[in-house]
Amino acid sequence: MNVISHIALFLLSMSIMIGQSSLKQVKSGTMYEFIGKKKNVKIKIDAFLMSDHAVTNGEFRNFIRQNPQWKKSRVSRLLADRNYLQHWTSDSTFPAHMEHATITNVSWHSAKAYCAWKGGMLPTNAQWEFALSKNHISIQTGKKISINEVLLKWYANGNSDIFKHGIISSDGIRDLVGSHWEWTEDFNELMVNGDSRGGGNQESNFVCGSASLNSNDASNYARFIRIAFRTSIKASTTTKNLGFRICHPKMEIAQ
């Protein structure tokens, strides 16, 4: 019985744990920088851990119980707008059927506080987009699906058949899109690009024509829509379909 075999066993069991718990490893890779002046430059994304599901009402209630400053009756309006947790019937209750449903009506600040409480963080824009760029299959049929195609349907129609049973990525991440939007750590970073010497607005970088010219994938219209949405909200904003999931940038933090 040597030390190495113990370590090997431990690592094996840890990898099984990661496989079983809600945290999945998003394997490293490269992705085109979506908006930028350099064409065809791929950025490297390191492996990270991401929850396979968005945080649920039940999970968020545990957070509220231990962090009462985030109760809707107590939170500062600077950290969450007046619709924060509006679907909850009180500071700590919501309709029972929502227990496992994705928590929405949460602000960036509250999502961030939840993640910090769990020892993690929100995924960055790059991490989130990278996780979405992996191959996805329909959970119902097991068939590969085109995220872009399905997203455009979702954007247009609301409910798309493919999302009734959800989707899962090759990394095991479920329902990144299809039922709700998700907060990202640096969602407001996209607002500015290049040297900003004028006023507060850099939207010309993102609106239609000018954005397409600087984008590495002008056909990825769905991603433009996500950027448009992210730039339209503030960190205190809450909406009835904006949730979040937790992420750990490095493997070792996850234990």
Which residues from 13-72 bind other proteins, rule CB under 8 A?
Answer: 13, 16-17, 20-22, 52-53, 56
Q: Which helix (H) or strand (E) element contains residue 154?
A: helix 147-157
Asked whether position 159 contacts other proteins by CB under 8 A, the answer is yes
Asked whether position 194 contacts other proteins by CB under 8 A, the answer is yes
Q: Pick the stretch among 60-68, 140-148, 208-216, 236-244 that binds other proteins (CB under 8 A).
A: 236-244
Nearer to other proteins, 133 or 243 (CB): 243
Cα–Cα distance between 57 and 66 in angstroms, integer? 15
**Strands 181-182, 242-243: parallel, antiparallel or unpaired by DSSP?**
parallel
- Among 78, 207, 218, 253, the residue binding other proteins under the rule CB under 8 A is 78
DSSP 203-243: GGGTSHHHHHHHBS-TT-HHHHHHHHHHHT--TT---TTEE
- Among 3, 96, 195, 209, the residue binding other proteins under the rule CB under 8 A is 195
Q: Pick the stretch among 39-47, 80-88, 141-149, 211-219 that binds other proteins (CB under 8 A).
A: 80-88
Cα–Cα distance between 11 and 15 in angstroms, integer? 6
Shortest distance (Å) from residue 137 CB to other proteins: 15
Number of residues that bind other proteins (CB under 8 A): 71
> What is the residue whose two structure tokens read 């006023």?
199
Asked whether position 148 contacts other proteins by CB under 8 A, the answer is no
Q: Pick the stretch among 26-34, 126-134, 151-159, 206-214 that binds other proteins (CB under 8 A).
A: 151-159
Report CA Rg, the chain: 19
Q: How far is CA 235 from CA 76, 88, 93, 167, in A?
A: 12, 20, 24, 28
- Among 46, 149, 189, 203, the residue binding other proteins under the rule CB under 8 A is 189
Reduced to 3 states, what is the DSSP secondary structure of residue 74?
A: coil
Touching other proteins, residues 198-227 (CB under 8 A) = 198-200, 202, 225
Reduced to 3 states, what is the DSSP secondary structure of residue 24?
A: strand
Q: Pick the stretch among 26-34, 39-47, 181-189, 210-218 that binds other proteins (CB under 8 A).
A: 181-189
Chain-centre distance of CA 217, in angstroms? 21
Touching other proteins, residues 122-141 (CB under 8 A) = none
Nearer to other proteins, 198 or 209 (CB): 198
Helix, strand, coil percent content, the chain, rounded in steps of 5: 40, 15, 50
